[in-house]
Chains A and B, each alone.
Chain A
Amino acid sequence: MQTHVRCLVLFSTYRDSVWLMHLSHTLEGLPGVQQVAVMMGTPHNKAILQQAGLLTAEGEAGGPNDLLICVQAETPRVAAEALRQATARMTPQGQETTARVAAPRTLETALRRLPDANLACISVPGAYAVHEARKALQHGLHVFLFSAHVDLAAEVALKNLAAQQGLLVMGPDCGTAVLNGVPLGFANRLPRGPVGLIAASGTGLQQVSCLLACQDVGVSQAIGVGGRDVHERIGGYSMRAALQALAQDTDTQVLVLIAKPPAASVAAQLAREAAQAGKPCVLAFVGDTALPAVSEGVYPATTLEEAALLAGALARGTPLPMESVALPASGVAAAQAARMGLQPGQRLVHALYCGGTLAHEALGLLRQALGNVISNLDDTWGAAPKSTHAVLDLGAEEFTQGRPHPMIDPSARRQYLIEAAGHPEVAVVLVDVMLGWGAHADPAGVLAAAWQETQAVAGAAGRALVGIAHVCGAPDDPQGFEQQCQILREHGLLLADSNAQAVRLAAAVLGVHAQTSPAQRLVASITPGAAALPQEQPPPASLPAHLPELLMTGPRVVNLGLELFATQLAAHGAPVVHVDWRPPAGGDTRLAGLLERLR
């Protein structure tokens, strides 16, 4: 292959080492660039550059106080472009920052800058989140409430206020939504299409929408409603309001409702209203073994994978999958091969998950297949010695005190991987890799590095671990779905297409055949009418007056909390104002209370 080398000498120029490193990495990443060196032009460094074939006559002219940027590329044009980019970065950044306008400090000031805002995206700490959400509703804004730690009574009050104002509250503890193609929170880059999703679960929404995207089936709207929306006292208010909206939405042909199993009354209410929607509706109560009796046009699913398959088939008009989903032959073969490499004592599965609902689903499926599985998701996780299968939700509160969520900082998982490697009975490690907006830029890379260490530790003790991962991502996600999968494969991890399949693979490695059966669904969907419904029914949720406008024109956002949400909205071209939020009255709760009464 041809190589062309160019050197740029910047005389008497100093930049700190971190800056130099960044420049180096950036230039290396340019297409067609083969090698980059960014160094001070000291005699020893020039000798090394000479040996590496990176020093030209121009570069020779540099001295110890000069910065040398040397690029080896496929063509002279690529080399020149790389140097041009390097020069561009040298110009002082000072002017940029002074041109930026200071962010507003309050919701009110933000509204002066974006008077037609229709949504507040709130990710400030729980106690304050309620206050800000209430203010937003009073100003006529829908609310996307990412914050957790909001108590039940407050959620009831907020959703009542929203009902009065004709607005929708998505949350609290709502991680994901995609409204009119615009991502809120942790969301994936999904194609547009006929499926409308409503979920009381962030990662559940992500898994189903990504599986649909991998089938080339697009999404019209993906509405998160918050993990507790289907609680008895809330009665699924937001889910039912969203259902009304999507029932009327002309771009939506198929509906999917996703939640962890709700209270019986709420489940029945949802099933009834789903039937009245007039469009086929998949009911995915993840981990439910006892399905509600349902009527024509409503399709229960027990796993997220099944929900995606059903919705995909309904969207395309193809026959519904009738058999349970099994491992493909390649998967069976891979599992056999992996099984060969295990030592006699290795018999346990440890699952280390970032996604809460995915962990929940895995727990249920593993219990069906393997029996006793402990987890921090219920109170089976004690100080007991871990000589059992285990499922860890690393995004749970006890693991994220003072640390970023593992979706943002995947390095948190490393220590648990190493621990698993040191445990003589662990055979299989199950992990999820979350892609999309808001997630880490290279989670597969971080996992691969940690996996190498893990195998090294196990290897030192004469063992090998079987790693099974599924990448929850859409083909167009910013991290590059294919590349992320490739990295994992190259580092010896087995890849599954979905969470459910990952569990099946894990069971197969342990020599157990796992099956998720759609049999009950088949029977249930034929039964006409609804039997055994409770007598008391809350009135049907009416469609919030301002919701159709939000779905049709997309969100115009005031962002309070994590700045990365505002950045991703701006990158997407959505109108957004970020608020430099501080706790009211500097955190003094007495004064804050006074202010509340003087509003």
Chain B
Amino acid sequence: MLSVQVSRWSQAAASLLAPQQAVMGWVHSCYARIINVHIPSGRLLTLQGEGMLQAPLGLALATDVAALGTCLPVGALVVQDMPLARRSPAALCLRCADALVWDGQVVAQPGLTPSVLNRQAHALATWLCSHTPSRGLAPLLLALEHGPMGLSATNAATYTALAPLWTGRQAFAIPTLLSLVKALVGLGEGLTPSGDDFLVGLLAVLHITGTLPCSAAAPVREQFCEYVRLGTSQLSGEFLRCAFEGHFAEPLVMLMRALWAPASDAWPSHAATLATVGHSSGVDAMVGIALGCRLLT
């Protein structure tokens, strides 16, 4: 049994684990520098090395996770460090007692008027067009003004889903959100499809403006989760579920906090960091933020 110290984890992850519960879960998948653990309630935790938490339910371990992943088969048992766990045939034991907790929740921020939202959204869109114009969904930023010429198949489908909302300029409401989710979930390339990342960005905006309070109504949540369950992978779905509840990965939270901070000119470096996440996941989330703001105003 390998015993590893958890150096830092998100509040959301910590709240899912009962302190007295020895069994944490089973290894769901390993790739690159990530190990996903399936917990009994069905959620997915993400184990990673030191650094920014790349998933809303993230645990940063004080060890070489790539090497760890090569000796943990899928299905291996993972336990928390406590006396009960000592006799279990676990492959991995995580010591969480001294782990630092990071709060990754995006809550409603007062004072975000439509003009503030518009201004920062415009600034973010401009940044994306000059730094990452051809990655992921970024071409949509221009396409929505100038037309869908030359878009890739997946971007064209995303364009089709968004265009009616654009031209109609309807007031944004919960039903609109749900129909967007239905149209975009699972759409696109990448381990987390571009459509999912877009929705994560959009949800971040909904939370920070208070449009979707963290305690949204049960029927809405159920419908949302149903679309997600049927439409995309467990891994990507976990990000969406957390986003619905207001929990996001650290790079995205850092950007959100910086975009709407009073002295708001430090955000480009956070945008640059987020742009390095995945192949286009970070960029797609930012497109979701930029377009999400404009949809709301």
Q: Which residues of A contact B (CB under 8 A)?
A: 12-21, 24, 37-40, 42-45, 48, 51-52, 64-65, 92, 94
Q: How far is the CA of A40 from the CA of B237 in the complex (A)?
A: 12
With A20-B191, A48-B187 as contacts: A40 and B232 at CB distance below 8 Å: yes
Task: Count contacts on B: residues with CB < 8 A to the other chain.
Answer: 35
Chain B's closest residue to A95 (CB) is: B70
Chain A's closest residue to B186 (CB) is: A42
Which of B140-148, B164-172, B277-285, B287-295 faces chain A?
B277-285
With A45-B187, A92-B70 as contacts: A17 and B29 at CB distance below 8 Å: no
Q: How far is the CA of A20 from the CA of B235 in the complex (A)?
A: 15
Chain A's closest residue to B236 (CB) is: A40
Residues of B within 8 A of A20 (CB): 189-191, 279
Question: Is B233 a contact partner of A43 (Cβ separation < 8 A)?
Answer: no
**Is B188 in contact with chain A by the CB < 8 A criterion?**
yes
Q: Which residues of B contact A (CB under 8 A)?
A: 29, 31-32, 34, 36, 67, 69-70, 74, 153-154, 157, 184-193, 195, 230-237, 278-281
Q: How far is the CA of A21 from the CA of B191 in the complex (A)?
A: 10
With A44-B157, A44-B185, A51-B153 as contacts: A14 and B235 at CB distance below 8 Å: yes
Q: How far is the CA of A40 from the CA of B186 in the complex (A)?
A: 8
Q: How far is the CA of A449 from the CA of B198 in the complex (A)?
A: 27
Q: List 23 A-B contacts (CB under 8 A).
A: A14-B31, A15-B191, A16-B32, A16-B34, A17-B191, A17-B280, A18-B279, A20-B191, A21-B189, A21-B279, A40-B186, A42-B186, A42-B232, A44-B184, A44-B187, A44-B188, A44-B193, A45-B187, A48-B153, A48-B157, A64-B234, A65-B233, A65-B234
Question: Is B189 a contact partner of A42 (Cβ separation < 8 A)?
Answer: no
Q: How far is the CA of A65 from the CA of B28 in the complex (A)?
A: 11
Residues of B within 8 A of A16 (CB): 31-32, 34, 191, 278
Most buried by B among A17, A51, A52: A17
Give which listed residue, B70, B184, B193, contacts A94 with CB less than 8 A: B70
Q: How far is the CA of A158 from the CA of B93 in the complex (A)?
A: 57
Chain A's closest residue to B161 (CB) is: A44
Distance in Å: Cβ of B71 to nearest Cβ of chain A: 8
Question: Is A43 a contact partner of B29 (Cβ separation < 8 A)?
Answer: no
Give which listed residue, B32, B36, B231, B237, contacts A43 with CB less than 8 A: B231
Question: Is A18 a contact partner of B278 (Cβ separation < 8 A)?
Answer: yes
Residues of A within 8 A of B195 (CB): 44
Distance in Å: Cβ of B115 to nearest Cβ of chain A: 29
Question: Is A42 a contact partner of B279 (Cβ separation < 8 A)?
Answer: no
Chain B's closest residue to A46 (CB) is: B186
Chain B's closest residue to A40 (CB) is: B233
Residues of A within 8 A of B235 (CB): 14, 65
Question: Is A45 a contact partner of B193 (Cβ separation < 8 A)?
Answer: yes
Q: How far is the CA of A38 from the CA of B69 in the complex (A)?
A: 23
Q: How far is the CA of A24 from the CA of B189 in the complex (A)?
A: 10
Q: How far is the CA of A14 from the CA of B70 in the complex (A)?
A: 14
Q: How far is the CA of A187 from the CA of B35 in the complex (A)?
A: 43
Chain B's closest residue to A66 (CB) is: B233
Q: How far is the CA of A24 from the CA of B232 in the complex (A)?
A: 20
Q: How far is the CA of A362 from the CA of B180 in the complex (A)?
A: 58
With A21-B279, A65-B234 as contacts: A39 and B29 at CB distance below 8 Å: no
Q: How far is the CA of A51 from the CA of B157 in the complex (A)?
A: 11
Chain A's closest residue to B134 (CB) is: A449
Residues of B within 8 A of A65 (CB): 233-235
Q: How far is the CA of A37 from the CA of B193 in the complex (A)?
A: 13
Residues of A within 8 A of B187 (CB): 42, 44-45, 48
Chain B's closest residue to A49 (CB) is: B153
Chain A's closest residue to B183 (CB) is: A44
Question: Is A39 a contact partner of B188 (Cβ separation < 8 A)?
Answer: yes
Distance in Å: Cβ of B226 to nearest Cβ of chain A: 13
The 9 lowest CB-CB distance pairs between A and B, nearest first, are: A42-B186, A94-B70, A17-B279, A44-B187, A17-B190, A17-B278, A14-B29, A16-B32, A65-B233
Distance in Å: Cβ of A426 to nearest Cβ of chain B: 22
Residues of B within 8 A of A48 (CB): 153-154, 157, 187
Question: Is A42 a contact partner of B190 (Cβ separation < 8 A)?
Answer: no
Q: How far is the CA of A39 from the CA of B194 in the complex (A)?
A: 11
Give which listed residue, A12, A15, A24, A52, contacts B153 with CB less than 8 A: A52
Q: How far is the CA of A347 from the CA of B184 in the complex (A)?
A: 52
Distance in Å: Cβ of A196 to nearest Cβ of chain B: 47
Most buried by A among B69, B184, B233: B233
Distance in Å: Cβ of B240 to nearest Cβ of chain A: 12
Question: Is B231 a contact partner of A44 (Cβ separation < 8 A)?
Answer: yes
Residues of B within 8 A of A17 (CB): 189-192, 278-281
Give which listed residue, B31, B191, B280, contacts A40 with CB less than 8 A: B191
Q: How far is the CA of A498 from the CA of B7 in the complex (A)?
A: 59
Chain B's closest residue to A15 (CB) is: B31
Chain A's closest residue to B69 (CB) is: A94
Most buried by B among A21, A24, A40, A94: A40
Q: How far is the CA of A24 from the CA of B191 in the complex (A)?
A: 13
Q: How far is the CA of A37 from the CA of B36 in the complex (A)?
A: 25
With A14-B29, A65-B234, A92-B70 as contacts: A43 and B186 at CB distance below 8 Å: yes
Q: How far is the CA of A378 from the CA of B192 in the complex (A)?
A: 53
